[in-house]
Amino acid sequence: IVDSRAYAGIYVRLGEEMVASTAERSTSTRTARLGMLREIVEFFEHSLPQLITSAIGLAGTVVILSTLNVPVFLGCLAVAVATGILYALTGKLTTRYNEGLNDEHERQVDAVDSGDPVRLGEHLRAMTRWNIRLSDLEAGTFGINWVLMMGLLVFAVGISAERTVEYGAVFAIVMYVFQFVESLMALPFYYQQWLRLREISGRLARVGTEAGVEAGATP
């Protein structure tokens, strides 16, 4: 409850400052950016604690696996690196799609307020296209990542059964690999959130810079 009150206060204060600095902008743009600002605050309130928990759990699992079975540990590291490379390669595309989607969000109120069905339809179709592109990209990267994870699980079972006589030890290794997979699969979600919020932060920062320049130019 205390956290909710604190973050609500942060949102109100930042929202007031943002609206005041963009007084010359359209109502549609300011409304959209208030929603974007809310996304940033909610990330710090809800997603960041979960991200920290996942990262700690992932690190702990990797350390334990390094003591139980070195080949499985190396396999986990290889999959983690491959996952990082995969999402790094698609990062610019994700940012570009989010930029297009946010541009359309800033036009939404104007499109609705215009009362023009054609303009509104074009706006809604544009938003749908950006959402579909983001969804397709996410599905593609998730699918590739899922194949990597399944390969890791098969490798872990095979190498553990080959090198370990006790079934209990094999079971423990496989369970830790499952935990590793669960934690690692969650991290790309936070990475994609971070990419979206970075685009939003840059958008809001440009507004603040423009407002400062205009204020300095005023005699």
- pLDDT (tens, 9 = 90+) of the chain, 219 residues, equals 457 788 888 888 888 888 887 777 888 888 888 888 999 898 888 888 888 988 998 999 999 999 988 999 999 999 999 999 999 999 999 999 999 999 999 988 899 888 889 999 999 999 999 999 999 999 999 999 999 999 999 999 888 888 766 778 888 888 999 999 988 988 889 999 999 999 998 888 876 555 444 444 444
Class of 2-217 per CATH? Answer: mainly alpha
Output phi, psi for 49, to 5 deg. Answer: -60, -40
Structure-token pair, residue 215: 């204020």
DSSP 8-state assignment for residue 1? -
Alpha carbons 163 and 166: distance in angstroms, whole number: 9
Q: Is 126 helix (H, G, I), strand (E, B) or coil?
A: helix
The answer to whether 164 and 69 are in contact (CB under 8 A) is yes
- What whole-number distance in Å separates Cα of residue 195 and Cα of residue 218? 35
Task: Tell me the whole-structure pTM to 2 decimals.
Answer: 0.80
| Residue 27 to residue 106: CA distance in whole angstroms | 9
Q: Euclidean distance between the first and final Cα of the chain, in Å?
A: 46
Amino acid identity for residue 190 in this structure: Y
Nearest Cα to Cα of residue 127 among 108, 147, 140, 114: 108
> Are the beta carbons of 112 and 120 closer than 8 angstroms?
yes
